[in-house]
Structure 1
Amino acid sequence: MTYRIAGRVLFDGASAHLPAGSRTGLVGRNGTGKSTLLRLILGEAAPDSGDLLTRPRARVGRLAQEAPDGDVPLIDCVLAADTERAALLTEEQAATDGPTVDAHRLAEIHERLLAIEAHTAPARAARILAGLGFPAEHQSRPVGDYSGGWRMRVALAAVLFARPDLLLLDEPTNHLDLEATVWLETHLASYPGTLLVISHDRTLLNRAVNRIWHLDQGKLVAYGGAYDTFEKTRREQRDVQARAYEKQQAQRQHIQSFVDRFRAKATKARQAQSRLKMLEKMDVLVPVVEDRAIGFDFPEPQPLAPPLVTIAGGVAGYGDRPILRGLDLRLDMDDRVALLGANGNGKSTLAKVIAGRLPLMAGRMQASPKLTVGYFAQHQLDELVPGQTPLWHMRRALPETNDTRLRAHLGRFDFTVRHADTPVANLSGGEKARLLIALMSTAEPHLMILDEPTNHLDIDTREALVAALNAYAGAVILITHDPHLVELAADRLWLVDGGTVAPFDGDMDDYRKLLLERAREDRREAAGAGASATAASPSRKDERRAAADLRARTAPLRKAIRAAETDLEKLAAEKARLEAALADPKLYEGPADRVTRLQIDLGDIGKKTDAAEARWLEAQEALETAEAAAG
């Protein structure tokens, strides 16, 4: 198969075979065409030459690109993904409610429903939602109540529930926390169909797949085994190739030397000509071209006397609603801490407290007077100005620093002269993430807080980040769904769970066992509750009355949530307008006070956005508490 985009060759005579029932990881550097391959398989694009064949009548499914929305309950949204089951149930209802009953067709419907295990569908959908972080009491809530990241989890649950013959997943862990990622690894490892997954999550590629497709220089090369096996095999192959190339080069040089020495001698001319023909017929081996390594180099912070931060008897939260209690923590310069715990348990709240962005509600926090903190979070990608360059962003962060030093700092994070002058809109997701990390480290921080730093980084760049973190002389707090990063870059684990923060005595394997054991206990409790529910279950009338009462009591909270979301949408639109104005080169030809005014307005928008997000979070958590209490 050959395929080009705008004259650039992404696939150059590529060939590969995906066996039925295999679980394959598709790997390669960012920009090589992995997502494009999924589009080709789905028929959304056609190859320029060659063939791309899928088994006839095979059901192909992929993670929806748009998050679901609306008033549909989570469980119903997932159940609807099995379109055959939904159609059969609709037909069954119509057949039984109609004036006449086609007994033969009704029998066929029941037989097919039995074959596709339709009777177990609600329980299976509920298990998938629970695994992705939605407890049973939340599964009847409307999809629209959740933020975009959580709604993408619902989309993932839907495609997993549908069980297509060929499941295509593109970075499925990007919207997950570590707990949901661990569940997904186990689920995909036993997927009953054929799986092709693009992922930069090394642990998922080691635990969930049994084959690797490597996309490199327009070719697809298949390897048996998981990612570590692929990496070892490829390294050995490259070593063999390098030795063979060196040996051939020495042989060619020896032959050429003979030809050069004796070509002019009559007695040796025939031998020289013979060797020259041998040289021409020799298959020329190509040298090993190493991938250019992406670099990270954090600046060295000035040493500070311990401790950097201490918290005693701390209570943290928003408004008058505490999220975390009993915080007794200490951080020193040499600490490498990873925060464990499901999304919503308070990891980001704790990070904001330590960073000095959220004051304690009670208790005492003391930080070194000279402490500087670098804070990285994925939402900061939206704060980059699309029409401006990395160098422009550095000038904005360090207005008193000359361009030579700014370019040198960007160079620490692998921004060449060309990339430093490229508009942000033309940078890849990984390059934007590296720019944010570069901006974060301009103040030579003593403490770096990294909230999901690897979402847009490929495997090689993640390895470079690990090396840089291990060489960094300051303290690090990590919030990540990447177990490999935790294992290599953190030496202390703090578990944020149940409204508290405590050291976790164990490693990532121990934590994975804890999560799996909790999941088993939850399933046992659910099974026991289901077996005893019949006698004690309330009538449908009582259930409807209770649901109506709950809706009435929580109506003000839902209204507050919608109002905050409306404010956030308006603020986002205003922010986009201001950024577009600031990105217009003509602006800088006019009065300087106009630029200053726009920048001040942009700063005010940021403050208003933080306030609206806090209102949304407070109302959302109050709503969840009310619904949980209602049971």
Structure 2
Amino acid sequence: MLQINDLTFDAWGRRFFDHASVSVPPGAKVGLVGRNGVGKSTLFKLILGELPAGDGEIGYPKQARLASVDQEHPATPVPLLDTVLAADVERDRLLAALETAEPEQMGEIYARLSEIGADRAPSRAAEILSGLGFRQDDLARPMAEFSGGWRMRVALAAALFAEPDILLLDEPTNYLDLEGALWLESRLKKYPHTAVVISHDREILNNSCDHILHLIDGKLTLYPGGYDAFERQREEKAKVQEATRAKVEAQRAHLQSFVDRFRAKASKATQAQSRLKMLARLPPVSAVAIEHTTPFVLPSPDRPLAPPLVRLEGVTTGYDGVPILKGMNLRLDLDDRIGLLGVNGAGKSTFAKLVAGALPAMTGHLARSARLKVGWFHQHQIEALDPDDTPLDIIRREMPEASEAARRSRLAQYGLGAAKVETRVENLSGGERARLLLNLVAAEAPHLLILDEPTNHLDIDSRRALLDALNDYQGAVILITHDRSLMELVADRLWLAADGTIKPFEGDMDDYARFVVERAKQAGKAPTQIRAAEPDPPPKPAPARAKVPTGPARRRAEAAEAALARASQALADIDRALTDPGVFAENPAKAADLGRRREAAQAALEAAELEWLEAVEAYEAMKG
């Protein structure tokens, strides 16, 4: 369906593609992956003809329809549902033709409308819009009433409804909430034609894609399977490549050694020349390219606070006297990892502001530890950055007493090296700005981290680095994200924002995903009921399926393992000292002290082993 042959493309002083070739099978769902800035979006523009291709060829069938979602839908007076329906150009044209058709032509037009399922189009469009977060009473609203972010969703809905032969999606989940991302994951899996998706969402790449297209060093390589399969295949490929390189280099060294030793000897000249020809024929094998990802720095609080960190009893909050969230009864402790669910507009960001201290409670009782330090990351921080600032300007304000060398060292820890520290913010990538702010909000070792869509600009390796840092962080976390993988691997408990309040959700992410997909299907059954009632909140699953919070047990097991490693190392250090004969000969008192310390270290090791065994058994039992 999509064929790229020997593509070479240079622009903006660099080479994006270097004799790249790939063949995408018809009907494939392909995840296009690669580091930020390698040229993934550029490839889409080349396929669409928005950039003049250099050398090489990009081909697909002449009759194939292409579509992408790269800008929001215009703010027109046309109603939402009609806007999406108009994306099916043939249906729109046939309906218009009916207005002026002669009687003898109408039969043919109606037959074609029936063939393309025109009567089901409103239902299908309504289901797509519901899945992307629109309400039933939005369907009759004109496009001009929606914000830019919602018009981006309309553009995505129109592309999915039109079902082009080749669908190109560039980070489609960046302007979706978790509910929209869950629905899109299910929809892409069933898409009837070829789709190529640029995404850093591991769940979409695993569950919706049957191929991964990797862009690195200007080359394109297609791997079968999802992202996990791609990682395994790439790791195996790297091992084979490294083994081949080592073998070739060893053979090269052996041949070169022979040539160096015998080139000057007449009796060996022929053999030496033969070895030189063999050297020239040895294939070049490049070393495996290692892509380094800078870790995040999320220091844990020095001293734990007495529980609870935050307690809400009948709390209502909102803006300008208008309540948004009512009657909340919740408690947050130091070891809590809360995943906050709910559609856009349900009050998740309002709750984050309340807990962060940026919004007061209107009624009820909100208790918070007096020494509580909160690190709060939200997307508006990235938008509010002064475009003329540099990372060095920002860190100077954050570290006014530090030396210039210390500031630069801190920025290097954040992944901003010497070449970036004096770059203006407007010229930094979204990922670099997100990294800077994420590290800054955690710089003072807060007791609570509130992360509102932290992964929007991070590539998949940076998301894994953030996950690792959060699992090492010894404080409380409230996470709002459309990244299902991050939510599942960080959150121990789920809270749901719905019906004007926030309550614990007693299911897991699989339960919630099923609810989201089913809600969209139900909405599509009656698209003309513009003022249909709101869907019921998700039903609570049976107690046997309830997810047991395992975070505290997991962190106890991790802490016990670390304590065991320290105890083992301490005993090993003492044993090493006791093996020195000079200790007994020159300092008998020190030798006696070492003996006593060894007994204590051995006892500490045994206690650590017992605690580790108990912690691991408890964690495994809870997981089971």
Q: Distance in 2 between matches of 1:408 and 1:47?
A: 42
Compared CA separation, residues 165 and 484, structure 1 to 2 (3 A):
same
1:129 is matched with 129
Contact 1:38-1:168 at 8 Å conserved across structures: yes
SS at match of 1:14: strand
Q: For each residue in 1:357-404, what CA deviation from the matched residue of structure 2 results, as whole angstroms up to 9, or x when unmatched?
A: 111111112222222211111122221111221111122334343323
2:186 is matched with 186
2:558 is matched with none
Contact 1:67-1:155 at 8 Å conserved across structures: yes
2:342 is matched with 341
SS at match of 1:30: coil
Q: CA deviation at 1:182?
A: 0.9
What is the root-mean-square deviation in Å for CA atoms of aligned residues? Answer: 2.1
Instruction: Name the amino acid aligned to 2:142.
Output: P
2:516 is matched with 515
Contact 1:409-1:438 at 8 Å conserved across structures: no
Contact 1:63-1:170 at 8 Å conserved across structures: yes
Contact 2:448-2:475 at 8 Å conserved across structures: yes
2:412 is matched with 411
Contact 2:318-2:362 at 8 Å conserved across structures: yes
Instruction: Name the amino acid aligned to 1:40.
Output: L
Identical positions, percent = 53
1:536 is matched with none
Q: Distance in 1 between matches of 2:520 and 2:96?
A: 33
Q: Distance in 2 between matches of 1:105 and 1:423?
A: 63
Q: Distance in 2 between matches of 1:72 and 1:301?
A: 53
Q: For each residue in 1:238-264, what CA deviation from the matched residue of structure 2 results, as whole angstroms up to 9, or x when unmatched?
A: 111111112222222233233333444
2:455 is matched with 454
Q: For each residue in 1:207-248, what CA deviation from the matched residue of structure 2 results, as whole angstroms up to 9, or x when unmatched?
A: 111111111111111111111111111111011111111222
Does residue 33 of structure 2 align to residue 27 of structure 1?
A: yes
SS at match of 2:167: strand
Contact 2:200-2:458 at 8 Å conserved across structures: yes
Q: For each residue in 1:480-513, what CA deviation from the matched residue of structure 2 results, as whole angstroms up to 9, or x when unmatched?
A: 0000111222222222222232222333223223
Q: CA deviation at 1:335?
A: 2.1
TM-score, with length taken from structure 1: 0.79
Q: Distance in 1 between matches of 2:381 and 2:213?
A: 33
Output aligned runs, 1:232-311, within 5 Å.
Answer: 232-307=232-307, 308-311=309-312
Q: CA deviation at 1:473?
A: 2.3
1:395 is matched with 396
Q: Distance in 1 between matches of 2:70 and 2:394?
A: 34
Q: CA deviation at 1:521?
A: 5.1
SS at match of 1:469: helix
1:168 is matched with 168
2:43 is matched with 37
2:141 is matched with 141
Q: Distance in 1 between matches of 2:136 and 2:70?
A: 23
2:364 is matched with 363
- Of 96, 100, 109, which residue of structure 2 is paired with 1:94? 100
Q: CA deviation at 1:341?
A: 1.4
Q: Distance in 1 between matches of 2:303 and 2:272?
A: 69
Q: CA deviation at 1:275?
A: 2.5
Does residue 12 of structure 2 align to residue 6 of structure 1?
A: yes
SS at match of 1:513: helix
Instruction: Name the amino acid aligned to 1:488.
Output: L
SS at match of 1:32: coil
Contact 1:317-1:324 at 8 Å conserved across structures: yes
SS at match of 1:174: helix
2:323 is matched with 322
Contact 2:72-2:151 at 8 Å conserved across structures: no
Contact 1:391-1:407 at 8 Å conserved across structures: yes
Q: Distance in 2 between matches of 1:327 and 1:417?
A: 48
Q: CA deviation at 1:461?
A: 1.1
Q: For each residue in 1:494-549, what CA deviation from the matched residue of structure 2 results, as whole angstroms up to 9, or x when unmatched?
A: 222222322223332232233334445556xx46x98xx9xxxxxxxxx9xx9xxx
Q: Distance in 2 between matches of 1:510 and 1:346?
A: 21
Q: CA deviation at 1:15?
A: 0.9
Equivalenced residues, count: 524
Q: Distance in 2 between matches of 1:444 and 1:300?
A: 5
Q: Distance in 1 between matches of 2:187 and 2:13?
A: 40
Q: Distance in 2 between matches of 1:276 and 1:42?
A: 49
1:49 is matched with 55
Contact 2:132-2:180 at 8 Å conserved across structures: yes
SS at match of 2:435: helix
Please list every run of 5 or more consecutive structure 2 residues that lacks an aligned counterpart in the other structure: 1-6, 532-624
Q: CA deviation at 1:64?
A: 4.4
Contact 1:41-1:54 at 8 Å conserved across structures: no
Output aligned runs, 1:477-556, within 5 Å.
Answer: 477-520=478-521, 522=523, 526=525
1:201 is matched with 201
Q: For each residue in 1:173-214, what CA deviation from the matched residue of structure 2 results, as whole angstroms up to 9, or x when unmatched?
A: 111111111111111111112111111111011111111111
SS at match of 2:22: coil
- Of 8, 16, 21, which residue of structure 2 is paired with 1:15? 21
Q: CA deviation at 1:343?
A: 1.3
Instruction: Name the amino acid aligned to 1:394.
Output: I
Q: Distance in 2 between matches of 1:259 and 1:436?
A: 58
SS at match of 1:454: coil
